[in-house]
Chains A and B, each alone.
Chain A
Amino acid sequence: MIEVALAISISLLGAGTLISLWRLLRGPTPLDRLLAFDTINGIVVALIALLSVAWQETYYLEALLLFSVFGFLSVSTIVFYLDMAVSDRDAMTNPRPEQIIDGADSGDERYDV
């Protein structure tokens, strides 16, 4: 019974990984790609837990903790890097022409390159 549940769960997680990879490929801004990376990292943690249930092993649970720690550190590092590196005018995307507003920049000159 657990084997059937494990097969269904791994199939669902694989489908989720494929959908997240599509967003990672297509995402119009780096934030979408970052969110897709976060989702895939959570799916990897869940897959480690599922495989340790399937194999009845307990060695991999420390890898579980390590993956969650390094995923959070990666996301926060990339967020702080983008916060420092990308200027407001770039806005990290190419907005459609009707979305460009005059005077929409912040007046905050710190991030202008």
Chain B
Amino acid sequence: MRELLISLLLITGSGLFLLAALGLLRLPDPMCRSHGVAKGTCLGILLILLATGLALHGNGVSLLILATGIFQLLTTPISAHLIGRLAFRKNIPLWRTGPLDREGGKSRDVPRE
């Protein structure tokens, strides 16, 4: 039962990582890509760390895994937010509308292609 749970968690977490990489490949624009990468990586690393904590039980292991999980849960959205903020500040061309307008963040009316 425990082995079944560990196997399910490992495969689900790795599938989330693969989904993050597919989003990185297929999505059209750095902001969309940061969205996909942040969600997939954060959830996948949490599931794999949970499986690790179920599989290995010893002195101080749970504390390290808990620290790593909390750190990943804090820092993955922060790094994705930093990358999206940099894309906003540097006027990276977006998918539908071209560069963002700096005043208020509304998109300009530029027809697509």
Contacts and interface: CB of A to CB of B under 8 A. Distances in A.
A56 B48 CA distance: 15
Nearest to B51: A53
Interface of A: 1-2, 4-6, 8-10, 12-13, 15-17, 19-20, 22-23, 29, 31-32, 34-36, 38-39, 42-43, 45-46, 49-50, 52-53, 56, 58, 61-62, 64-65, 68-69, 72, 75-76, 79, 82-83, 86, 88, 91-93, 95-96, 98-99, 101, 104-108
Contacts of A96: 93
Contacts, number: 197
Contact of A16 (B17, B34, B61, B93): B17
Given A46-B17, A58-B58, A72 B79 contact: yes
Interface residues of B, number: 59
Main SS of the interface on chain B? helix
A23 B10 contact: no
Main SS of the interface on chain A? helix
A101 B55 CA distance: 56
Q: Most A CB atoms within 10 A — which of B4, B24, B60, B110? A: B24
Given A2-B55, A91-B92, A99 B10 contact: no
